[in-house]
Structure formats: C-alpha cells, structure tokens
Amino acid sequence: MDQYLLSITIIGAATTLMAWMPGFSKKTGISYSLLYVIAGVLLYRAVPEYLPDPLPDDNENLTLHLTELIVIISLMGTGIKIDRAFSFKSWSAPLKLIGITMLFCIAAAAVMGYYFLGLGIASATLLGAALAPTDPVLASDVQVGPPNNKEMSEVKFTLTSEAGLNDGVSFPFTWFAISIGLLLAGTEVSFVEWFAFDVLYRIAAGVVIGFLCGKAIGCILFRLSEQSGVVSTRDGFLAIAVTLLVYGLTEFACGYGFISVFICSITLRHYEKDHRYHQELHSFTDQIERLLLSLLMILFGGAIASGILKPITLPMFLFSTVFLLLIRPLSGRLALSKSKMSPKEKWAVGFFGIKGLGSIFYLSFAFSKFNFEYKDELWAIVSLTILLSIIIHGLSATTVMKKFKKTDQMQ
C-alpha cells in the first residue's frame, strides 16, 4: 500500500467530513474533536505501518510548529469574534481567571507533580505551566459565536476571552521551568533577568506590537480602502496572512507572539466593529482552524494508539482527574466569587477549563530549549489530561451551553 496515497486519502476524508461536523456536534451533543481522536486510534490500530509516526517525541519540530500554527490561527479567530470592547471593568471576569485561577493552577500542578508524582522541580513546574492555560482550539463549543451575532452569554464571553489571553500570559512560566532546569544543570541563571525580560518585556512587547499592528491594518482595511481602490480587498485569507505577519514580527522583537496576535485581532475587530468584513475574516480562520484540527486530532489519536500513555500510573491518572475536576473548577469559582454572574454560571466557567493543543505546544517548546527529566512521563500526563478533557468537556459542553442559552432568552 502506498503511504502517500493513503495519507492524502485520509486527509481528504477527514477534511471533507469536517464541513458537516459542527452541525453534527450541535445535534448530538458530542464534540467532533472526540470523534476524530477515536478515528485516529482506529486507523493507527488498523494500519500503523502505512501511516506517519504520530508520536510527538519522534517529530519534535513538526509537533512544535503544527501546534504553534493552529494556536495562533485560533487566537486570531477568537479575537475577531469577541463583540465586547476591552476595558478593565467589562473584562474583569477573564482577567481574574488569568490573575488568580491560572496562577493557582500552575502552583497546584507543580506542587502535586513534585510531591505526589515524584517529578523533579523543573519538570513539575513545566507540567503546571503546560496545563494551566485553557485551549482556544478545542473550546469552540463553549465560545461566543461569529462577529455581531448579538449573543449575550456571560459564560461564553468569559471562556472565550480567557482562552485568548492566557495562552500568552502563561508563557513566562514555561521559561521559568526552563530557567530552573538550566540552573540545576549548572548554568548561571538570573531570576531577576527572567522577571524583567521574560515577564515584563516580552508581555509588553506582545501587547504594544499587537495593538499597533491591529490599528495599522484596521486603518488600511476600513479607512484607506474606502479612499483608494488600490488597497481595497475583502479576501478572508487576509486574516491568516495578518496572523503570520504579526506573530513573526513580534517573535523577531522577542515578544510573545501569542499575546500579540490576540491583541491585534481584538484591536482590528473594534476598528470598525459593525463592518461585515469581520464575518469574512472570522469565517476563513475558522475553516483553516478546523481543517488543521481534524488532522491533529487524528495524529493525537494515533499517538494514543502508539503508546504515548504507556508510562501512566494510578497516581498520574488521579492527578489528571483531580486537576480537571477539582483544582480548575474550584479555583475558577474562587476567582469569580465577587462576579455578578449567577452561581451556576460561575461553576460552569470554572468547570470548562478545556485543555488541548496549546499544552502540547508548551511541552514541545520547553523540550526544544532544555533536556528535561521525565520526558516520557510528561508527555503521558499531558496527553492523558487532554484526552480526559476532550471526553468530559466534549460530551457536556453543547448540552450545558444550550441550557444557559435558554435561560438567557427567558430573561
């Protein structure tokens, strides 16, 4: 059997089916991500010798860059569909989740990793940094809809904006884990320099570059295009082009590209908030994101079938379960204790701390910078947590969000 022909046939089938998957998920209440993972497991059980190696440890650069690509595309799409303009007051809920919940999750996972799982301090810190941020890619079922759809769900807004913000804000803690590893390996490390550069400068650079790029692109698209036909365009692919441009410029400046892309998308979105072109930009990013997601979920299922979970022990399983069902929900509920949301809404926000491809990216990135101990165990724990999140959240998100939608319509 020809591996290339089989691969493109599977890619064609997976991406063709993706055209109908969102509607299927709405009707059945089953996340299509779960279906693609199952498909990946079955394919790699049936004909593994004719398919590409799915294990991330055997494809470090490919894993790093594919997950990086889908996350930044998802961040652009996430920002474009948020109708609410930024202010500290109106965005207080997601900011609290970043400042309280995410930090608590990093600390709790690191402590459990060190004392309960027996990981080294650097590996335990990396575990917390990789698992703390919620995923913008796999969280579509709990996010707001397309631009200007007038949906007023506070739960969906909070989860959407949190997923957009925390992917970049958690990056300093990945660098912190790397710094700890380098220090323990005998390399001279300054944590003052880490705070000044990896926390303050990189975040600030991401915010500033993203804001300036968003303003500049908005001016070209919505002001200059009306004055000159030369720069007039309504092509949806521009969203992907801008994503890559802004990300590249920010990374060249040593800023956090994840933050920059999200800030750019929010700034661009609100340059001409009610313009119909935002719908075209969002639609194109959504299509590309779902295309990549179908392939990456099949590979993730293939990694499961190929033994990425072999190092899993009972303590590791307990860790993943406790992290998803206790630590994240409780810390989320605590962060929103003073919020105006109802108790049910607060618990829903805490519960849907979805883990996904962003965690794989952070792990891949850290491994590319330092040779961490317990590498196989970290891949296994993170993969198990993502799998459990796909199952638990994938089977409950649509149903729960429908109930909140009915409640909002009645009010």
Segment 29-70, tens digit of pLDDT: 888 999 999 999 999 999 999 899 999 988 999 999 999 999
- pLDDT (0 to 100) of residue 1: 65
pTM above threshold 0.85: yes
CB 254 within 8 A of CB 201: yes
- CA dist., res. 336 & res. 349, Å (int): 9
Q: Is 254 left (phi over 0), alpha (psi -120 to 50) or beta?
A: left
How crowded is residue 9: how many other Cβ atoms within 10 Å of its Cβ? 11
- pLDDT (0 to 100) of residue 410: 47
CB 284 within 8 A of CB 236: yes
- CA dist., res. 205 & res. 146, Å (int): 28
Q: b/e map of 203-215 (b: 16 or more CB within 10 Å)?
A: bebbbbbbebbbe
Domains of the chain and CATH, by start = 3-410 (1.20.1530.20)
- CA dist., res. 137 & res. 181, Å (int): 29
Compute φ and ψ for 93, nearest 5 degrees: -65, -55
- pLDDT (0 to 100) of residue 223: 82
- CA dist., res. 385 & res. 355, Å (int): 7
Compute φ and ψ for 270, nearest 5 degrees: -100, 10
Which residues in the chain show pLDDT less than 50? 409-410
State both tokens at 391: 């199952």
CB 165 within 8 A of CB 207: no
- CA dist., res. 241 & res. 279, Å (int): 16
Picking from 155, 127, 126, 122, the residue whose alpha carbon sits closest to that of residue 141 is 155
- pLDDT (0 to 100) of residue 374: 95
